[in-house]
Structure 1
Amino acid sequence: MDIVSLVPQFGGVIWTILAFVVALSIVVAVHEYGHYIVGRWSGIHAEVFSLGMGPVIASRVDRRGTRWQLAAFPVGGYVRFLGDADAASSRASVSVHKLNEQERGRTMHGAPLWARAATVAAGPLFNFALSILVFCAFFMVKGVATELPVVGEVKSLPEASQSLEEGDRILAIDGQETPTLSDFVQVANELPPAPTAAYRIERDGAEMDVTAPYPFPPVVDAVQAPSGAHEAGIEAGDVVLAVNGAPIASFRELRDAVGLSNGDPLTMTVWRAGETYEASLTPRRMDIPLPTGGFETRWLIGLSGGLLFEPETRTPGPLEAIWLGIQQTITIITTSLSGLWHMVTGAISSCNLQGPLGIAEISGAAASQGAGNFIWFIAMLSTAVGLMNLFPVPILDGGHLVFHAYEAVAGKPPSDRVLRVLMTGGLAVLLSLMVFAVTNDLFC
């Protein structure tokens, strides 16, 4: 066995594990801190705040009597409030009965209903808040496209030609006027694929005609993971020149070539920084959400493209950036719920459900693509964790909220026996789902 050849592979596994642990720890810490701080504000005492599970590595007790601890297995975390029997906030009836009335009011089960419900809901809400703040920061740092079709940075292509320059305003393409960026995108999408297109532009106050590359060239904007392209080493900025020897002039032609492959292996000729290389990869069948709702099954290699140039951007104000962050978070939630519904109804493959191994692989890929991509992934993971915890499954936050809603209507909480049965059932559901997701990671 060639030990030296295994070093890069081993390093990749370690990198993936570290990225997954960091991402999950941040998301879990924010989630549990939401429970802790709202519980504290509501007068509920937290005995333990644990990041990780299992044996305690380090701990300290603060002036409020809460023990903050780091546990050995970074696969979750919990807050144990006064009166809880375990991390799932099961009622510890014996210990609670030993408390006086004032002390009972500081327990999770003796506090007012509104305080308990707020404390439970705070975990997922803090996850959503983290996502919104991260997305908001991205929009403020990177900016958003202006409404006018003004050229920003022009992407590198293998053949230099009379081209567009930063600051050019595109007035028309192939004779069709483009007063706004959305008009330009619509017209460009309808053009037949070709190596070049005719642009009418305004540059330094003067109008002129230039010939420049096709508006949607076969340039890689982003590489998704896991995917065939990621495994083949294709990177953002690469230009696909040919697929199985057939020249490619536009990203649409690349997409069509992959779609017609029917999953057969492809050989791509790729240009990167003045040099060409061959990349062999195999498309994967995936279910893609449609803008109009629903999903479409396609053969994909994990590449996304874009315009020949980056549109000119502007910096949104704080309120607009927050609203954009909220919209991005809502989009992730609605797409996730739609995907789950289509899986349950059999409209799309259940292989779309990824488990911890798949999420870890995505974590490693995002981290390897830079800090920005990794932070964006953490925000998406935070939304997913917040949403999952709101599902009405006993043992999850959503299940506890259902119990509180029942108590609000019936005037009393469910009995201890009912709670034990439901909690056990909820745990069984979660474990079954975990096994199913891991099976998907291994065999789909």
Structure 2
Amino acid sequence: MIQTPGVLITALAFVLVIGPLVFVHEMGHYLAGRWFGVHAEAFSIGFGREIAGWTDRRGTRWKLAWLPLGGYVRFAGDMNPASQPGPEWLALPAEERARTFQAKPVWQRAIVVAAGPVVNFVLAVLILAGFALAYGDARTPAVVGEALPGTAATAAGLRAGDRVTALGGREMDTFEDMVRYVKIRAGERVRVDYVRGSRAAAVDATIGTQLQRDRFGNEYRVGLLGIAPTTPVITEVGAFEAPVVAVRRTGQIVGMMVETIGQIVTGRRSVKELGGPLSIAKASGEQLTLGPDAFVFLVALVSINLGFINLLPVPMLDGGHLLFYAIEAVRRKPAPPQLVEWAFRGGLAAVLALMLLVTFNDLSNRGLWQQLAGLIG
């Protein structure tokens, strides 16, 4: 039976995910800027018209806007999206200009910009560390407990007791490593290195495709090699080890993101799998109904996603700013204003195009275009 969260639960869950994560991200920028003496004129959660707000004693306007799809910190001197100094900035009094973002050395500006994504990763690490403390760390050996009938593992001749050492040339330490590798490579042919007894061997196998469906009716196409694990091994994790486990898990999640993007770029995975705000809202509502653990884990995943995307070297994103700061550090002077302006225009166009694509995908996944076709027909 398909269980779908209501609209109110979905909307509430979306706000509970996006609101705090945007706040944490922008707070990273704000605190780093304040540390270096940059005046923040506004701190906004959401875009558009202000719903509520107040001005603190430092002159910063803290506000909540009506469109909860992001947020921003506007520092003094930010008179254009590229944060480039212009005539208006030069016209400021010297004392006021010294408190602007553009007046700071390039390394301080880079830290202020990087602080937002970094804080998102720190939050995710803290959440995953909590899970490691509560539930331990899965370290099941990469040993075949059973080669499931009719699967790639059986076709490749793998047997119970075989220890898989590598898949596609990548070393496998645990069974969980194998699951992560196989899951995003449905239909791909890979080399399986294994040890049987004391003899090393290798065989090629084509990863199968399994269509999974959850209780909400969502369907997922995942890779399946067909290896059942031995008895699962869960190791208790102490307070000092938990952050190490969390950092490792964060790195694994980022690695899967990078590989998935690579598959989309090379055409091995469809762009239709890209989702946007509507997909996040849907997932938020579903995970909230599954309980606090599932919901908090989703928060960690979205936080990693937010940090990762913002570090991409695309103008308009934090990574785009960092790219130009790196160029400035190498050249010992800022990049030409015309180059920066056109780069940011191109970045804005790319971001808008991506938003249109993921929104189209979101609406398509919800059957809107089929419904419209039915109405027209």
Please name the residue that 2:137 is paired with. 144
Tell me the secondary structure at the aligned position of residue 338 of structure 2. Answer: helix
Aligned mate of 2:127, from 122, 134, 157: 134
Q: How does 1:79-118 map to 2 (within 5 A)?
A: 79-85=73-79, 88=81, 90-91=83-84, 93-118=86-111
Aligned mate of 1:14, from 8, 11, 24: 8
Following superposition, the deviation at residue 356 of structure 1 comes to 1.6
Is residue 356 of structure 2 the alignment partner of residue 432 of structure 1?
no
Following superposition, the deviation at residue 310 of structure 1 comes to 7.6
The share of aligned pairs that are identical, in percent, is 40
**Which stretch shows the higher mean deviation, 432-441 or 380-389?**
432-441
Larger Rg: 1
Aligned mate of 1:125, from 96, 118, 143: 118
Q: How does 1:8-47 map to 2 (within 5 A)?
A: 12-47=6-41
Give the 3 Å change call, closer, same or farther, for CA 394–308 of structure 1 in structure 2.
same
Aligned mate of 2:281, from 353, 360, 363: 360
**What letter is aligned with 1:44?**
V
Following superposition, the deviation at residue 105 of structure 1 comes to 2.4
Give the 3 Å change call, closer, same or farther, for CA 143–411 of structure 1 in structure 2.
same
Is residue 279 of structure 2 the alignment partner of residue 376 of structure 1?
no
**What letter is aligned with 1:73?**
L
Following superposition, the deviation at residue 43 of structure 1 comes to 1.7
CA distance in 1, matches of 2:122, 2:146: 36
**Which stretch shows the higher mean deviation, 343-352 or 414-423?**
414-423
Please name the residue that 1:66 is paired with. 60
Counterpart contact for 1:56–1:69, Cα < 8 Å: yes
Counterpart contact for 2:287–2:294, Cα < 8 Å: yes
Tell me the secondary structure at the aligned position of residue 80 of structure 1. Answer: strand
Size of the aligned set, in residue pairs, is 307
Counterpart contact for 1:286–1:352, Cα < 8 Å: no
Counterpart contact for 2:277–2:359, Cα < 8 Å: yes
Counterpart contact for 2:145–2:230, Cα < 8 Å: no
Aligned mate of 1:188, from 125, 145, 154: 145
Unaligned runs of 5+ in 1: 1-7, 148-180, 194-255, 267-278, 291-295, 299-305
Following superposition, the deviation at residue 95 of structure 1 comes to 3.2
Following superposition, the deviation at residue 287 of structure 1 comes to 4.8
Following superposition, the deviation at residue 415 of structure 1 comes to 3.2
CA distance in 1, matches of 2:287, 2:364: 22
CA distance in 2, matches of 1:190, 1:73: 51
Following superposition, the deviation at residue 106 of structure 1 comes to 1.6
Tell me the secondary structure at the aligned position of residue 145 of structure 2. Answer: helix
Counterpart contact for 2:124–2:300, Cα < 8 Å: yes
Give the 3 Å change call, closer, same or farther, for CA 47–438 of structure 1 in structure 2.
same
Please name the residue that 2:174 is paired with. none
Give the 3 Å change call, closer, same or farther, for CA 90–281 of structure 1 in structure 2.
closer
Counterpart contact for 1:80–1:89, Cα < 8 Å: no
Return the TM-score normalized by structure 1: 0.62
Give the 3 Å change call, closer, same or farther, for CA 409–442 of structure 1 in structure 2.
same
Following superposition, the deviation at residue 41 of structure 1 comes to 0.7
Counterpart contact for 2:137–2:245, Cα < 8 Å: no
**What letter is aligned with 2:247?**
I
Q: How does 1:312-391 map to 2 (within 5 A)?
A: 314=236, 316-391=237-312
Return the TM-score normalized by structure 2: 0.73
Q: CA deviation digits over 1:372-419, x for unaligned, max 9? A: 111110110000011101111111001001111111112221233332
- RMSD in angstroms over aligned alpha carbons? 3.3
Q: CA deviation digits over 1:286-331, x for unaligned, max 9? A: 254x8xxxxx9x9xxxxxxx989986652x2222100111011111
